[in-house]
Structure 1
């Protein structure tokens, strides 16, 4: 085993060698693009987010089974207001948003026994060169109290999840001022508390329409900074991501057993990408990569997308307060229960909304992740890669990443130009995990793709 000082020197030398590689993006272009992303982060308004949360709370309840005819109460009024907000935003950008309702009638389920139309409100900002390549931000419209079937009692759902929906609307306001190569999708989903039905419906719609969804950023509770554990913290957030795909075949699992990749699914490398965005562009925010589909034995609306093989993660606060989740409004033994707006920190919700907006902008400006990435190097001194060279003229080239297998984030990288294969000399395949990203002429990068089926961003990989 290397002594710490020797190992540190070895790491430093390797990092220096990587940084000295040819084909570095021009400094002025890199600064310009970084500034665009900083501008997007700074444009998110905590005041507007707070106002939107208040409006959603004022609908009384947004339970999936609640009133749909009233203009002032129930989920019907809430989703019509959300649609109207998207329409206002679209009008200000010259009709840049395609606003659709994606719905289905659900019945015969434990939490939806009688027929109910579950309606998602979705706004699509089409990309100029790859309109079918998409990155999506989602939040949940519906709310609940202690009894999941109680659809008449007041259920403010201020943090869970008016905060997420308000973030989606605000991201649309900010990003609609820009034009992107790929498409950005803003989704307000219904039916989450009754069984993730809105996500299932939108996932089916995406599959039917052959959407190339390269990332779903599900925002579920992004406004609370004081946890049940007594910790108050507005500087951290969690990103939950699954490991291997649930749709993995036996043949793929066998390959993975011998080549690795248990912590390098597309979802997990999407999470690493978001973590990198936080470090570079979101002041005073440290994101925690949680290697789990969701919180222990719990679920969220990214799961239906994961179930279909899409890259999807959950973004949320670090310290939850369970007295403010799924609770009847009441005070018992001096403890106040209920998800009311006084438990939401608008500045924090804005910070996490900025994280989403910058991530989506970066991905939509960047080229698509590389396809058909392959790796070889068994019993050799060097590691070789190949991938499908894209005909996308926005691509300047590709970058190889690698890290020690025990490390959570990519440590080393080498820009290799616009080629379809490359060999890292004297870098032994056994000691590292590797990946490839696409790089645009302006310096935007795609998420890193781990070689083989395990890391592909193509959800249809078989």
Structure 2
């Protein structure tokens, strides 16, 4: 280490850098001030409708119910997808029985409106030994009240299968308290919180199998919904949402979303993530702009690849000693996905984030369609869109954002579909979108405007 005047050289450099910070900040501010103001008079003043009344409170979420659900699942020993479907005390069939019983209990409180379905199917994949094996998903479906939107579904899902250290080991204990007893419990808790309500769109509360064997249950869920003629308005995948290991808790839950493949236009999944964050608040949701953790996958992925809005909730920082590990103690360190590592207060907040997002999305009008942007090589951007008639819709919020800004802002409001002109706003410096707004204040996810014209050289 070199010294300068009796002090470490790096300290001298740090002090010189610190003295430059005000100048750097001033230069950045000047650069920002030198950008043209668009529009010249500043953004329009828009009066926004408040969010829908009747928001779910944290006091309505029952950590004890989450604990009881996971305790029942863990009692099955293993819920490996290749374990027994018929043994009532050990194996994945035991887990299915617990889930069906929970959903049926909630269905009674819904006045019979909540329908519980045991979806049985067969599938072959590399992680089934390339042989056809039975699988079962469990769905609780709450039909929407609006005939125009009842075939639109908003889905929350967790997977109830588990694995030990060896992905093909169907006999060793694999309690799966966090992965993914937690996500399954969140899906069931959302059903409890929402089943007595009435919504325009249909809600699906799912617990799927086969995730560890290759996203088999999530893929089946997508196909089931397609076969039944549903349109997926949004899919919330909860996978590993039960712990908050890092010092300084509580922390925000992570929300993963893929960006898509269209130039200058984020995917429906990214727009769903933005809407969820707006509903639940930035203090609770940490948006992660990638489809999933590096080298990992979840049941939202088949939906995302199909071009549908799908996101994944996952705890703030994972402890891999407690995922995909056969329970054991090595050098005094406990391995295994055990209940004692769960944080039920954190999990309750995740359940609330899911339930409130589902509530508001299912109350909203359908999103606009056919968003197009024009006005290239002119002073003013123009966007157009269409939407079906809807007596419950108040109109449309017209959105914009800097190309580097992760969040939308409201630029204007339109009572009907058609064309909107951003007077003296360039097409090139911002992205634009539109979302529907109900008279009840519920908002659809945003739909970005895309250019359909060929690019000019």
Secondary structure at 2:128 match in 1: coil
- The alpha-carbon distance between structure 1 residues 9 and 76, as it changes in their structure 2 partners (threshold 3 A), is farther
Contact 1:18 1:412 in 2 (8 A): no
Match of 2:87 in 1: 70
Gaps of 5+ in 2: 1-25, 453-457
Contact preservation (8 Å) 1:438, 1:445 = yes
Question: Against the structure 1 CA distance between its residues 48 and 453, is the aligned structure 2 distance closer, same or farther, given a 3 Å change threshold?
Answer: farther
The count of corresponding residues between Structure 1 and Structure 2 is: 425
Question: 1:4-61 CA deviation, whole Å, 9 max, x = no partner?
Answer: 168479899979954623x643xxxx26x2x412x35541111211111111111111
Between Structure 1 and Structure 2, whose CA radius of gyration is higher?
2
Contact 2:372/2:451, CA 8 A, preserved across alignment: no
- Aligned twin of 2:345: 347
More moved, 199-208 vs 55-64: 199-208
1:26-41 correspondence to structure 2 within 5 Å: 30=50, 33=52, 35-37=53-55, 39-41=56-58
For each residue in 1:323-364, what CA deviation from the matched residue of structure 2 results, as whole angstroms up to 9, or x when unmatched? 000001111112110000011100101101111001111100
Q: Distance in 2 between matches of 1:242 and 1:163?
A: 23
Q: Which SS does the other structure have where 2:273 is aligned?
A: helix
- Show the counterpart of 2:120: 103
Between the aligned partners of 1:85 and 1:181, the Cα distance in structure 2 is 25
Q: 1:343 to 1:392 in 2, by over 3 A?
A: same
Contact 2:237–2:300 (CA under 8 A) maintained in structure 1? yes
Which range moves more in the overlay, 147-156 or 94-103? 94-103
- Pair 1:293 & 2:311 matched: no
Q: Which residue of structure 2 lines up, in the alignment, with residue 209 of structure 1?
A: 228
- Mapped partners of 1:314, 1:241: distance in 2: 7
Of residues 270, 273, 280 in structure 2, which corresponds to 1:271?
273
For residue 380 of structure 1, report the CA deviation from its aligned partner: 1.2
Give yes or no for contact 2:127–2:168 (8 Å, CA) kept in 1.
no
Of residues 259, 262, 271, the one that matches 1:243 is 259
Residue 425 of structure 1 and its aligned partner are, at CA, apart by 0.9
SS at the partner of 1:414?
strand
Q: Distance in 2 between matches of 1:118 and 1:242?
A: 28
- For 2:172 and 2:399, locate their aligned partners in 1 and report how far apart those are by CA, in whole Å: 53
Q: Give the superposition deviation at 1:78.
A: 1.1
CA RMSD of aligned residues (A): 2.4
Matches within 5 A, 1:276-355: 276-279=278-281, 285=284, 287-355=285-353
2:104 aligns with one of 87, 91, 105:
87
Q: 5+ residue gaps in structure 1?
A: 246-252, 455-462
CA distance in 2, matches of 1:15, 1:51: 59
**CA deviation string 1:258-300 (max 9, x = no partner):** xx11xx11000111111112217xxx52x22222111101111
Q: Cα distance 1:116–1:406, how it changes in 2: closer, same or farther (>3 A)? A: same
Query: Which residue, out of 394, 397, 403, partners 1:396?
Result: 394
Would the alpha carbon gap of residues 157 and 15 (structure 1) be closer, same or farther in structure 2, given more than 3 Å must change?
A: farther
Bigger relative contact order (CA 8 A; separation at least 6): 1
- TM-score w.r.t. length of structure 1: 0.87
Once the two structures are superposed, the pairs formed by residues 163-202 of structure 1 within 5 Å of their partners are: 163-202=182-221
Preserved contact between residue 370 and residue 388 of structure 1 (Cα < 8 Å) = yes
Name the CA distance, whole Å, in 2 between partners of 1:184 and 1:360: 8
Aligned to 2:329, the other structure's residue is in SS state strand
| Contact 1:106 1:112 (C-alpha < 8 Å) held by counterparts | no
Q: TM-score, normalised by structure 2?
A: 0.88
